[in-house]
Amino acid sequence: MPKEKVILGSDHAGFELKEDIKSFLIEQGYLVEDVGTHSTASVDYPDYTRLAAEKVAAGQFPRAVLFCGTGLGTCIAANKVPGIRATVCLDTFTAGLSRAHNDANVLVLGGFLVAGRLAREIVRTWLTTTFEGGRHAQRLDKVRAIETEGRLKRGKLYDISRPIQSGMVVWPTDPPVTIEPAKAIAAGKSSNVSRMHISTHTGTHIDAPRHYINGASGVDDIVPEVLMGMARVFQLDPQLRSIDGRVLQGLNLQGVSRVLFGTSNSSLWGRNEFTEDYVHVSEEAARGLVAQGMKLVGIDYLSIEEFRNKGRSAHHTLLQAGVVIVEGLDLSDVPQGDYELLCLPLRVKGGDGAPVRAFLREI
């Protein structure tokens, strides 16, 4: 029977050692997956380290053996993945202890430092040594606690959603917001219960494709992974009246899949009446955002569309491409930069839209 599965990865400096160890592991009966690289052409070690380490962290592989020039950079990168305990080993003694005492699940070898028989014996020792548990398990629990507490102690949180209240500003053709008592303790009832009358596009809200495309997917079809993750906030020139293609070209959107536009719109929330002359996204810019592979686009007023655009071209362009639109944000106090977005809409079955509670967390 084959032994356990092992995943391998390397950069160009560790490529030759990876190939040698791969042949050795296959000879020993291990099931091997190699995520690359597959030549000595120059590459960036974090790319391949992350591919392998995330598969170990997800439980797809029990352990990984990774390679680079010294092993140091790859070890640092691997240990950034939650759940990974990576170690660089230069001899069989440290390889054995890293398993017996530390339950290391990633071994990193430096192609500049070890090779041939020594490298094979390090790998053999590491793969055949079991974790001793006991006092070492207690210590590992404390290591995991450091990781868990570090993930919970995150940066400052910004609430970028508008409060829902009676009489608030709404889109001119939408029903007004009313919130009134249905039951009141003051009237002798056992509890306070309110009755609320709102549209699905009240305040801070998302637009689902069904908003403008009959039969398209609704709010409840939007996967949470789109609504949560890295987002970039741009605070644009207060004199700007339209986000067009020229404006878009001046923004750094490399690697961005969620973008939120802060504009002079955020100051409009202080008014009691709807403002028609708000900053909007042009059809040209919408096409550019789709071409950039954007998953989510947000803006700080009740529509992403120009008020007088009857064709709703920006909406159609984005929604037909599956881009989620978030409208009615309040970005007035949020500095420009990258954040973790948490956008939580009401789960309205088949909904064309839904109010959301949205937060940005400093990274």
Please tell me the distance from the alpha carbon of residue 168 to that of residue 163, in angstroms, as a whole number: 9
Please tell me the distance from the alpha carbon of residue 31 to that of residue 2, in angstroms, as a whole number: 7
Please tell me the distance from the alpha carbon of residue 204 to that of residue 202, in angstroms, as a whole number: 6
> What three-state secondary structure class fits 344?
strand
Give me the catalytic one of 205, 211, 280, 315.
211
Q: Which of 21, 37, 355, 1 is nearest to 203 (CA)?
A: 355
Please tell me the distance from the alpha carbon of residue 274 to that of residue 4, in angstroms, as a whole number: 64
Q: Which of 341, 156, 337, 326 is nearest to 232 (CA)?
A: 337
Q: What are phi and psi of 203, to 5 degrees?
A: 55, -135
Contacts of residue 169, Cβ cutoff 8 Å, sequence gap at least 6: 269, 271, 272, 273, 274, 302
280 assigned to active site = no
Catalytically active residues, by annotation: 211
